[in-house]
Amino acid sequence: MNKTILITGGAGFIGSHVVRLFVNKYPDYKIVNLDKLTYAGNLENLRDVENTDNYIFEKGDIVDESYIKDLFTKYKFDGVIHLAAESHVDRSITNPMEFIMTNVVGTVNLLNAAKNQWKGNEDGKLFYHVSTDEVYGSLGDTGFFLETTSYDPQSPYSSSKASSDHFVRAYGNTYGMPYVISNCSNNYGPNQFPEKLLPLFINNIRNGKSLPVYGDGKFTRDWLYVVDHAIAIDKIYHEGRNAETYNIGGFNEWTNIDLIKILCKQMDIALCKEEGTAQQLITYVKDRPGHDKRYAIDANKLKNELGWEPSLQFEEGLAKTIAWYLENEKWMDNITSGDYQNYYKKQYS
Ligand code: NAD
Ligand code: TYD
């Protein structure tokens, strides 16, 4: 069946994996990737699909209301998979306004454009909003986030994502907008910008730089390989029920310090260094303000309803990830020159 689908934020980390999957798996779909190409957007992530017939790139800003309106008029989208966002908690602490603009205002602009285009003709249309488990706040030592867990966001980033989730549900409830939302745990894998824990530490180890562990390092995250997230998004887009929320997680919890120690071990092997070399770079630094203690997703609704499960064991996913970054040193070197150095100095000095 022919469809024209808008994927926002397709030049970013997760978005590029979603674009690749859809372009290759659905040759009958026209996939339009809209991305502003902020510091986190990188067309290098999509070199392998950029000349494919069913792929189109549009550079633009979701905050620009009239541009978004015109884009919907031009393509008459059947569906939207919305990933574009400011996505890094530390940056949201220093500059919350950018998060409100892109994550909240940008999302509402897309909702308005979809509502106006689909009015009275909602059949077969879908607004898929990609969100995060961070909207649920922080867990104690036990328990899991369910789809019914109350929202309790703690950072400017998670508050902006929570707000956008509420707007999507409000448009479903008020205007009959067909939608689905998924809330996913921490992703890792190829193409992640090295401001997030794993690529930052991989890059620092390869350069012999210290590994800044926030606080006592005993914060817990649930890690999912990015391709498994893209596969879940495909399943939910095609088989998810209207107006439903699906949690996506790796069934894979680690404290930061345990994760970092495994990473150090695997990096020593990959770089042919003596065991213990990378671990010597661990440096405990000042904690992140308002640092959420623990995230843990119960993804059983997705597993039971749609038959999705993570395909990789964590050690295997981590080894693949390390191998990718070491084979793509040029990718890393290109994005860590220039502005990245200023960001790094401000964040870690
Ligand atoms: P990312 O920061 O790597 O990429 C974001 C992309 O959005 C970039 O390509 C950027 O250029 C684009 N963008 C930013 N502002 C824009 C704007 N105003 N207009 C158009 N494009 C804009 O982010 P990511 O890690 O790939 O996350 C993608 C989505 O998944 C986000 O919505 C995020 O909240 C969500 N998410 C991320 C994780 C994770 O672990 N990374 C986990 C769960 C959910
Ligand atoms: P991050 O990758 O920023 O994802 P999120 O904050 O969205 O979970 O961080 C993952 C964990 O690693 C989080 O507990 C913060 C911690 N962390 C560090 O200890 N040092 C760092 O330099 C970074 C970037 C993160």
Residue ranges of domains in the chain, CATH in brackets: 3-191+223-251+293-312 (3.40.50.720)
Angle at 188 between CA 253 and CA 242, to 5 degrees: 85
Q: Is the CB of 182 under 6 A from ligand 1?
A: no
81 CA from centroid of ligand 2 (Å): 26
Instruction: Please give the average per-residue pLDDT across 165-193, as a whole number.
Output: 98
CA distance 258 to 215: 14
Q: Given the residues 35, 133, 195, 253, select the one marked as catalytic.
A: 133
Is the pLDDT reported for residue 349 higher than 90?
no
Band (pLDDT 50/70/90 cuts) for residue 251 is very high
pTM score: 0.98
Beta-carbon count within 10 A of 200 CB: 20
Residue 227: pLDDT above 80? yes
Rounded-to-integer distance, Cα 349 and Cα 346, Å? 6
Hey, CA dihedral for 24, 25, 30, 32, is it positive or negative?
A: negative
Ligand 1 pocket, residue 198 CB under 6 Å? no
Take atom 21 of ligand 2 and give the residue whose Cα is closest.
197
Which residues are CB-neighbours of 277 under 8 A, at least 6 positions away? Answer: 268, 271
Active site residue 315: no
What's the gap in Å between 316 CA and the centre of ligand 1? 25
Angle among Cα 325, 329, 333 to the nearest 5 degrees reads 120
**Closest ligand to Cα 145:** 1
Q: What is the pLDDT of residue 44?
A: 96
Band the pLDDT of 1: cuts 50, 70, 90.
Answer: low
Residue whose Cα lies nearest atom 14 of ligand 2: it is: 219
pLDDT, one tens digit per residue, over 284-303 is 999 999 999 999 999 999 99
3-class DSSP assignment, residue 139: coil
Task: Please tell me the distance between residue 102's alpha carbon and the centre of ligand 1 in angstroms.
Answer: 10
pLDDT of residue 338: 85
* Measured CA distances, 287 to 215, 280, 291, 344 (Å): 4, 20, 7, 16
Instruction: Compute, in angstroms, the gap from residue 84 CA to the centroid of ligand 1.
Output: 5
pLDDT in tens, 185-220: 999 999 999 999 999 999 999 999 999 999 999 999
The question of whether 133 is a catalytic residue gets the answer: yes
